[in-house]
C-alpha cells in the first residue's frame, strides 16, 4: 500500500537552487503523474490505508496522496487537479507558518535560498559549525553548499541552528527587506487559515506537521509538547478536528526517536507518517507509516509488498510510461 508525499507545486521553480536541491514539482508534471496513478492504481483516502493497517489487511494496488508544509501551490494548483481526477489527499500543516497578511515568518530553507540568491558575498567561514570555509563564487559552489547545509540542518539542535542562522545573516549581509521582498514570490507563500479551511470543507484531510517544523529528535520536554500538542490544539481550535494525523518533519529514522513517538501518542494523534521510502503492509506500525515520492515509486521495479508493482520492466507498457515520466522529470 503506497502513500505518496509532495510538498509544493510551481509553474516554474523560483531559482536554480530550488530546482536542483529541493525539487518542488512542476504543475505539468504533477498532472501527468495523477494521470498515471488513475490508470494503474486505485487512489484512496489516506484514512483507508491507515484503517487497513490497523485491521491487519492489505488493499490491492492502493495509493494515497499527501502534501507536507502547507504551501499555497498545493492549494492553488494541487487541489483542483486532484478534484478533476476524483482524488483526495491529506495536507499536513506547519501551524505557526500559516500565512497572515503583514506577517513575515519564512521557512528556514526558503530563507536560506533567498540569502544565497541575493548575496554579493563570495566566501563564508563556518568552521565553528564544522562546515569549514565555503566558496560561493558561482552557482556550483552555492549548490554544493546548500546540499551540505540542508542535510546538516535536519539533525542540528535548535540552539546551534539559531547560532548558525545568525552567522549566515551576518556574513551574507542581505538586508531583511530584500529577503522579505524576494520571498513574496507565489512559490514561497504558505496557505492562509481561510485556504486551509476551504480545503477541509471540500473534503480534503488536514493534519499536523508541528508548529515550526523542527527535527523532533533534537528537542524534548516542553519544546516537544509545544510542537506536537500545540499544533494539534491549533488545528482543533481552527477547524474543529477530532481525529488528527501527524507527519513528522523530515521524517527519516534519525529524526524520529522513541520519545517522539511516545509523545505523539500521548498528545492524542491517531497515527503518524514518516518519510521512510517503503510501501506499507499490514505489519507496519501505525505511528511509523511509510511514504515515498513519485520518483521513488518509479524506481521500485517490483519491490513492493502488496502487488502494486508500477513497472516490472522498462519494456512493459506501464514501464514505458514510467520511464518517459522519469525522463521528463529529470530534464
C-alpha cell at 147: 546540499
Which of 154, 182, 210 is the endpoint of a domain? 182
On the CB side of 49, CA atoms within 13 Å amount to 34
**Predicted local confidence at residue 100, as pLDDT:** 86
Q: Which among 161, 182, 203 is the end of a domain?
A: 182
- pLDDT given for residue 318 in this prediction: 44
Note whether 205 and 93 are same-domain residues.
yes
Residues 291 and 202 in one domain: yes
pTM: 0.89
Residues 18 and 94 in one domain: yes
Output the pLDDT for position 105: 78
Residue 217, all three cell numbers? 529528535
Residue 223 shares a structural domain with residue 138: no
Question: Which pLDDT does position 220 carry in this prediction?
Answer: 85
pLDDT at 18: 87
Number of separate domains in the chain:
2
Looking at residue 322, which CATH number applies to its domain? 3.20.20.370
Question: pLDDT at position 223, please?
Answer: 94
For 71, half-sphere exposure in the C-beta direction (CA atoms, 13 angstrom radius) is: 22
Domain encompassing residue 270: 2-99+190-329
Same domain, 212 and 155: no
pLDDT of residue 305: 38
Crossing angle of helices 139-153 and 108-118, in 10° steps, is 160
pLDDT recorded at residue 316: 39
Last residue in a domain, options 182, 215, 248: 182
Q: Tell me the backbone φ, ψ of residue 56, rounded to 5 degrees.
A: 70, 35
Residues 16 and 83 in one domain: yes
E runs forming strands in 127-167 = 132-135
Looking at the fold, whether 121 and 268 belong to one and the same domain comes out as no
Report the alpha-carbon distance of residue 100 to residue 107 in Å, rounded: 14
As a whole number of Å, the CA-based R_g of the chain is: 20
Tens of pLDDT along the chain (331 residues)?
999 999 999 999 888 888 888 889 999 999 999 999 999 999 999 999 999 999 999 999 999 999 999 999 999 999 999 999 999 999 999 999 999 876 777 888 899 999 999 999 999 999 999 999 999 999 999 999 999 898 888 888 888 988 999 999 999 999 999 999 999 999 999 999 999 999 999 999 999 999 999 999 998 889 999 999 999 999 999 999 989 999 999 999 999 999 999 999 999 999 999 999 999 999 999 999 999 999 999 887 443 334 344 443 333 344 445 444 444 443 3
- 244 and 165 in a common domain: no
Provide the β-strand partners of residue 6: 67
84 plus 196 within the same structural domain:
yes
Question: CA angle, corner 13, sides to 10 and 19, nearest 5?
Answer: 125
110-to-64, 146, 178 alpha-carbon distances in Å: 27, 11, 13
pLDDT of residue 154: 86
Are 221 and 294 within one domain?
yes
The closest of 330, 268, 279 to 61, measured between CA atoms, is 279
pLDDT at 159: 86
C-alpha–C-alpha distance, residues 172 and 122, integer Å: 9
The predicted pLDDT at position 326 comes to: 43
Do 198 and 54 share a structural domain?
yes
Q: Domain check: are 309 and 194 in the same one?
A: yes
Amino acid at each position: 500500500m503506497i502513500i505518496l508525499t509532495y510538498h509544493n507545486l510551481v509553474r516554474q521553480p523560483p531559482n536554480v537552487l530550488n530546482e536542483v536541491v529541493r525539487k518542488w514539482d512542476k504543475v505539468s508534471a504533477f498532472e501527468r503523474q495523477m494521470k498515471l496513478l488513475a490508470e494503474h492504481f486505485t487512489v484512496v483516502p489516506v484514512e483507508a490505508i491507515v484503517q487497513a493497517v490497523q485491521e491487519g489487511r492489505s488493499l490491492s494496488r492502493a495509493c494515497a496522496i499527501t502534501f507536507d508544509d502547507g504551501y499555497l501551490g498545493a492549494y492553488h494548483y494541487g487541489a483542483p487537479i486532484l478534484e478533476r481526477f476524483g482524488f483526495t489527499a491529506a495536507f499536513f500543516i506547519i501551524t505557526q507558518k500559516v500565512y497572515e497578511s503583514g506577517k513575515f515568518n519564512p521557512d528556514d530553507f526558503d530563507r536560506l535560498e533567498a540569502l544565497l540568491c541575493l548575496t554579493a558575498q563570495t566566501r563564508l567561514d563556518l568552521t565553528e559549525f564544522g562546515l569549514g570555509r565555503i566558496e560561493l563564487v558561482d552557482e556550483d559552489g552555492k549548490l554544493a553548499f546548500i546540499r551540505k547545509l540542508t542535510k546538516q540542518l535536519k539533525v542540528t539542535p535548535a540552539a546551534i541552528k539559531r547560532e548558525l542562522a545568525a552567522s549566515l545573516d551576518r556574513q551574507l549581509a542581505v538586508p531583511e527587506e530584500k529577503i522579505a521582498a524576494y520571498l513574496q514570490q507565489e512559490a514561497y507563500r504558505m496557505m492562509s487559515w481561510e485556504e486551509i479551511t476551504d480545503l477541509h470543507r471540500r473534503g480534503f484531510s488536514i493534519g499536523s506537521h508541528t508548529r515550526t517544523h523542527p527535527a523532533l529528535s533534537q528537542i524534548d520536554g516542553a519544546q516537544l509538547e509545544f510542537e506536537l500538542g500545540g499544533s494539534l490544539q491549533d488545528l482543533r481550535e481552527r477547524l474543529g478536528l477530532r481525529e488528527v494525523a501527524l507527519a513528522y518533519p523530515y521524517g527519516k529514522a534519525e529524526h524520529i526517536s522513541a520519545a517522539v513517538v511516545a509523545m505523539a501518542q500521548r498528545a492524542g494523534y491517531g497515527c503518524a507518517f514518516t518519510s521512510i521510502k517503503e510501501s506499507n503492509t499490514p505489519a507496519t506500525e501505525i505511528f511509523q507509516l511509510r511514504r515515498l515520492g513519485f520518483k521513488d515509486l518509479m524506481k521500485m521495479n517490483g519491490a513492493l509488498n502488496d502487488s502494486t508493482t508500477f513497472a516490472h520492466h522498462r519494456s512493459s507498457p506501464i514501464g514505458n510510461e514510467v520511464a518517459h515520466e522519469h525522463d521528463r522529470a529529470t530534464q
